[in-house]
Amino acid sequence: MSPTAFRSMPALRFTPALVAFVLLLTFVAAPAAAAPNVLLICVDDLKPTLGCYGDTLAKSPNIDRLADRGLRFDKAYTNQAVCAPSRNALMTGSRCTSLGIYNLSVNFRAAVPNAVTLPQFFKQHGYRAEAVGKILHTGHGNHDDQASWSVPTQIEPVVEYLDPDSTGGELTREEAFFENKRLGSIGQLPRGAAWEVVDADDDAYADGRIAQAGVERLRAAKDRQQPLFLALGFVKPHLPFTPPKKYWDLYDPAQFAMPEFRADPAGAPRFAGKGGIEVANYAPLPANGRLNDDLTRQMMHGYYASVSYIDAQIGKVLDELDALGLRDDTLIVLWGDHGWHLGDHGYWTKHTNYEQANRIPLLVVAPGVTRPATATEQLAETVDLYPTLAALAGLPTPTGPQPIDGVDLTPVLRDPTARVRDHAYAVYERGRNRVGRNIRTDRYRLVEWKRPGADPDTAELELYDYQQDPLETENLATHRPEVVKELLEILYTHPEAKPAVESSDFPLPPAYKEFVIRYGNAELYRYNSNYYLTVFAGPREAESAEGEGLIQIGRTWTSVVYFKESRLVTGSESPVYEWYYGGLRQTANGFEEWLQAKCAAARKRFTKKQWRALEEGPPPFTERELAITEARKLFRWWIVGIAPNEDLRFEIHNGSTMVLPYVSVGIRGKLRPPKTGPLHGGGYIPTASILPGETGTIEYDCYKQFVAPEDTDVFALPEPGPEDREQYWEFKAMT
């Protein structure tokens, strides 16, 4: 009898005689109940595009049969829609706002050095904990956690190609990210292919090997007198889409319909959406993330094929579990780390607070507790899995030392109509230490954007009604104040978000740490189209021409600013170095001295009138200017080719009710030989010929004298604010 089944029996009335009898059984006659094995199946970037969730296109028979064994959560949500923070939440039971970690590069032990992770907790209670594949995030400067496992994790590549044409024989940007190589110069590396179609065996790619290793770990555990906690981390459908050809052949591309709504929500803050984050590192995808119909269909095809590839690998593991007779003694969880935008809102991948980036598949099979083929509408979060698995295994309630923010879902596993929470909580950080905390109820999502610790009156809000507007076409925050008030009261029951924690890999100087905790990313003293001084909240690894390790902390108008790794000492200030065209040289003895000197120098660049304008801030947009900003949001454009004169050819759709003479864009690329290095600038595509509701083709020179057109990325600029009037040609031409 399992510990859970024992606890579910009716309570007994303990008389002295019965107590004596129980003690006799405990110490003389009865062996301890066998602890269940745990099989935790983690799938990278998996949204509920599965047959068991009602997707009629998906071919996922093995995950579907897993759902038939237990309970399906129809309203499960990640705690942040990006890989490392979502996995921190799984492993620690702590929400991202409790840790203060919102990015890929910071290890969770930077926030709580003595945290006890989920597998570590099971280890402490007699389990053997093993991991294969991607469980914690390895890459982008982050690393696995040796303390969590009984044996070292078998790491497999997230980005892997078989076709040499996919990389051109060079290290690509995303390969470098995930292998922790060239992190200071990613932009100088080539883009890898967004997909490849190779007729190969399953184990030619990482996920086939992960499945095989999982099978071998189960076999080894069969005769071992120790319960097993086995975590298998499959890496697809993360980009690039590289399932073997037979999985591509399962789908007819013509089956994939275009997304119904491909625009930002009306009235949403301009920073809430996304552009080309992640997709910009893959060819032939446009760097602004705006894909035409052909690319959209190809990406959908690749995503679904990757899901079917993963499904087949999971099937191999389940088959072996059954063959070994471990099915009735094993707790199984299938979990997607976050959702994925498949062209909805015009977005791709994750990185937002919206539904498609946050909703995840979650299946739980607990023999003796869950009933076959059941489903629940209970709202659930990733952090709930830590206390739930501990309870199912009969272990003590976990207490940290990190915050355990999750709730035990076992009442819902027993009775899918039971309720243990009335909302799910998540977050996304969007630059300058601006945190978007959000709660999802059965009907609504409320998002509050502000700096941690700032007055609530400074927040920008979003509200979406999934009963009336499931596609999130409009932000309703200003239209339904009574709903906003009710949901804010729920949000305020949660602790304030912690400011972002920097990586513990380097002992950053106290003055710098204090500055970024207070201000986040800081951009100071705008001069024409440039900020005179920028300080990064997230320091970046780099190296000098001589190979010396550097930590980039910011830039000025004419230089890049660093600490030297060799000069960093815990608790002490460090000299500041700047790179000019003449090389690297020390310019201050510490961060505070450097900052004061740069602020004083910046002040001298401005006239009294200019300085007064800086202090007062720009005047708000006029109605005409507001109309321009709304109109430019409704322009969609794609690079569709290269003209004979090497201009780039754009297809542009005007979805607004206005004619704009220009649309401002960003331009970057790799300089033509003999020059080296990146180019980063901007341009303005003439759009006066494209009338409202129409689509046209425009050819435009994107610095072709400096950058070959095939090496040029054109990307969307952030939505302008009043301070951007001089930089966006939409305003210059119409005011």
Distance (Å, rounded) from C-alpha 708 to C-alpha 673?
10
CB 125: neighbour CB atoms within 10 A?
14
| Coil/strand/helix, residue 389 | helix
Q: Which of 361, 342, 362 is nearest to 352 (CA)?
A: 342
| Coil/strand/helix, residue 385 | helix
Catalytic residue among 42, 52, 83, 702: 83
| Coil/strand/helix, residue 129 | strand
Distance (Å, rounded) from C-alpha 603 to C-alpha 82?
39
Task: Name the CA dihedral angle for 657, 662, 667, 672, rounded to a multiple of 10 degrees.
Answer: 140
Residue 122 bridge partners (DSSP): none
| Coil/strand/helix, residue 536 | strand
Catalytic residue among 137, 238, 338, 351: 137
Distance (Å, rounded) from C-alpha 728 to C-alpha 735?
12
Cis peptide before 284 (omega within 30 of 0): yes
Distance (Å, rounded) from C-alpha 305 to C-alpha 243?
6
| Coil/strand/helix, residue 80 | coil
Phi, psi values for residue 210, rounded to 5°: -65, -45
Distance (Å, rounded) from C-alpha 630 to C-alpha 735?
16
Distance (Å, rounded) from C-alpha 632 to C-alpha 623?
14
Helices 591-603 and 510-519, axial angle in degrees (round to 10): 60
Distance of CA 249 to the CA centre of its chain: 29
Residue with tokens 């941690």: 452
Residue 374 bridge partners (DSSP): 71
| Coil/strand/helix, residue 17 | helix
Secondary structure (H, E, C), 194-213: CECCCCCCHHHCHHHHHHHH
| Residue count of the chain | 735
Which is it for the CA torsion 122, 123, 126, 127, positive or negative? positive
Active site residue 52: no
How far is the first Cα of the chain from the last one, in angstroms, to the nearest whole number? Answer: 78
| Coil/strand/helix, residue 718 | coil
Phi, psi values for residue 410, rounded to 5°: -60, -35
User: Residues 78, 339: contact at Cβ < 8 Å?
Assistant: yes
Phi, psi values for residue 280, rounded to 5°: -65, -20
With b for 16 or more beta-carbon neighbours within 10 A and e for fewer, the 75-92 pattern comes to bbbbbbbbbbbbbbbbbb
DSSP-derived secondary structure for 407-424: ---HHHHH-TT--S-S-E
For the record, the structure tokens of 704 come out as 């072709």
DSSP E strands, 196-299: 228-234, 282-283
| Coil/strand/helix, residue 148 | helix
User: Residues 431, 388: contact at Cβ < 8 Å?
Assistant: no
Active site residue 301: no
Q: What residues contact 561, with CB distance under 8 A and at least 6 apart?
A: 552, 553, 554, 555, 576, 577, 578, 594
The residues assigned a catalytic role are 83, 137
